[in-house]
Amino acid sequence: MNLPEQTLDEARLVAEAAAGSTEAFSELFNRYHPMIHAFAYRLSLCPAEAADIAQDTFIQAARSLCSFRGEASFKGWLYMIATNKGRDRHRQQVRRQKLTADYTLLQTSAGDVVSADAAAVRDALAGLPLDMRATVTLVYYEGMNHADAARVLGCAETTVSWRIFRAKQKLKKQLRPCVAGGRHD
Amino acid sequence: MTDPDFKKTLSTLTIPPVDPALRERGLHRALVALAQPQPADEAHSSARAGQPFWRASLAVLAVVFVAGLVIFREGREGSSAGQKVAHDDAVTLAQMQELFPGQLNAVIEHDGAVQLDLAHDAVPAVTSQPLIVQFESGGHRLRVLSYSGRSITLQLRGATLTFEVMVTGGGGIVLSGNDFVWSSTHPDLVAGYRVQASPLGSPL
């Protein structure tokens, strides 16, 4: 079976980076940073947190490259690290008793100018528990199937399906006025 | 709301652009991490509770070494030749590394005193590029001898400055702190200090 050229290229880059090549690691960083940053933003809903999570993800990836055995795709492995970093930061936030209100204040004060629809989506997502938000992000924004999302999240596929079902219910209910308003019904 | 409407609504959430400076800092910090040897089980450590605290507690122990001053300065006093200075610096660094194998982050000379920046725990010894970083401001000079990939903590005008230092593939130096990145190609002031850095043996 012939592997796609991009997969071979990625495997070569990962092997070279694991051997200490800064050029290979920089190439992987350039290739995946936008994707991980976008994922981190949808997870944290805060630009500053997203930058930190993305940074922590690549630092952790650099430290752990030697243990990456290619059982998952490199991209999936990065998502896995980013999810754990997002959880770590979320736990820290909770420990600091950062309430949702403070969090929202932080987001709006960060110069994050968004449309009314986008703000509604952001607020609706912010109302979901972190693991449910991570699941929605992987399935709806990153286009993963439930099995792949389950691998990244370290849970059963049925858990992903259940979370998606519950998240859709909640989000649709909350976003209904936004869609209605957008259509000027 | 239909599923297509739902997906369309979700897609209105746009991603804010990445700050190029933060992105560059992220890359530099990751490259510094890449240069440091890690235990094989590090992969799953990010989920471990208490890890950030432990890492923070690894923050460095600074020990004032009056005796080291003799070693550090003696060879330099009588000679202005750059090569001799670089040789003496390399000897000093190697001697301190022998005394504290795997623990030495930096040898710091400041106002006639020499301090050692030591990590709590030794890491596996690695051969990485020795280097020098010099901070200067208003006649004040602080010299730092270290190795590529080390994390260093300094006191500059009472403020604590922690950064990682790395030699790039092209022989340049990058200092990567929590809120700054300095590189020999973009030599901005750091905490009001002019910074010069080079691999040990190369002219500053």
* 10-residue averages of pLDDT along chain B (204 residues): 84 87 86 70 41 39 43 49 75 82 85 78 68 88 89 83 82 82 82 88 71
pLDDT at position A29: 95
Q: What percent of chain A has pLDDT over 90?
A: 44
Q: How open is the CA angle B93-B97-B102, to the nearest 5 degrees?
A: 140
pLDDT at position B31: 87
Q: Which helix (H) or strand (E) holds B132?
A: strand B130-137
Q: Which residues pair with B114 in a beta bridge?
A: B109
Whose tokens are 């995946």? That residue is A32
Whose tokens are 């492995």? That residue is A77
Rounded CA separation B31/B153 (Å): 19
pLDDT at position A59: 92
Q: Which residues from B are below 8 Å from A65, CB to CB?
A: 34
More confident residue, A107 or A4: A4
pLDDT at position A34: 95
pLDDT at position A167: 92
Token digits for B142? Answer: 């602080």
| Confidence band, pLDDT 50/70/90 cuts, at residue A90 | confident
Buried b (16+ CB within 10 A) or exposed e, B98-126: eeeeebbbbbbbbeeebbbbbbeeebeee
More confident residue, B67 or A162: A162
If contacts are CB pairs under 8 Å, which of residues 95-154 in chain A contact chain B?
112, 114-115, 117-118, 121-122, 125, 136, 140-141
The DSSP symbol for B40 reads: G
pLDDT at position B126: 57
Rounded CA separation A86/A78 (Å): 12
pLDDT at A156 over 80: yes
pLDDT at position B127: 58
Q: Over range A101-107, report the average pLDDT.
A: 48
Strand, helix or coil at B198? Answer: strand
Cα–Cα distances (Å) from B75 to A105, B84, B186, in that order, read 58, 8, 32
pLDDT at position A67: 81
Kindly report the nearest CA distance between residue B68 and chain A, in angstroms. 33
Q: B3, B9, B11, B28: which to substitute to probe chain A, counting the most A Cβ within 10 Å? A: B9
Long-range contacts of A19-24 (CB under 8 A, 24+ apart): A20/B34, A20/B35, A22/B31, A22/B34, A22/B35, A22/B168, A22/B169, A23/B169
Q: Over range A110-123, report the average pLDDT.
A: 73
Nearest to B30 among A59, A112, A182 (CB): A59
Q: Which helix (H) or strand (E) holds B174?
A: strand B173-177
| Confidence band, pLDDT 50/70/90 cuts, at residue A141 | very high
Q: What is the largest CA-CA distance in chain A?
A: 60
Q: Which residues from A are below 8 Å from B52, CB to CB?
A: 88, 92
Residue type, B68: G
Alpha helices in chain B (DSSP H): 3-10, 20-35, 51-57, 66-77, 82-99
Cβ atoms within 10 Å, residue B64: 12
CA B179 to chain centre: 13
Sorted by sequence, the CB contacts under 8 Å of residue B42 that are 6+ apart come out as A63, A64, A67
Q: Are strands B140-147 and B130-137 parallel, antiparallel or unpaired?
A: antiparallel
pLDDT at position B81: 59
Q: Which of A81-95, A117-131, B122-136 bottoms out in mean pLDDT, i.e. has the lowest?
A: B122-136
Strand, helix or coil at B105? Answer: strand
pLDDT at position B124: 58
pTM for the whole structure: 0.56
Contact between A139 and B3 under an 8 Å Cβ cutoff? The reply is no
Nearest-by-CA chain B residue for A136: B10
CB-neighbour burial class of residue A27 (10 A; exposed 0-12, middle 13-18, buried 19+) = middle
Q: How open is the CA angle B177-B25-B164, to the nearest 5 degrees?
A: 35
pLDDT at position B179: 76
Q: Which residues pair with B182 in a beta bridge?
A: B175
Query: Which ipTM value was assigned to this complex?
Result: 0.78
Cα–Cα distances (Å) from B169 to A77, B32, B148, in that order, read 27, 12, 11
Nearest-by-CA chain B residue for A19: B34
More confident residue, B204 or A117: A117
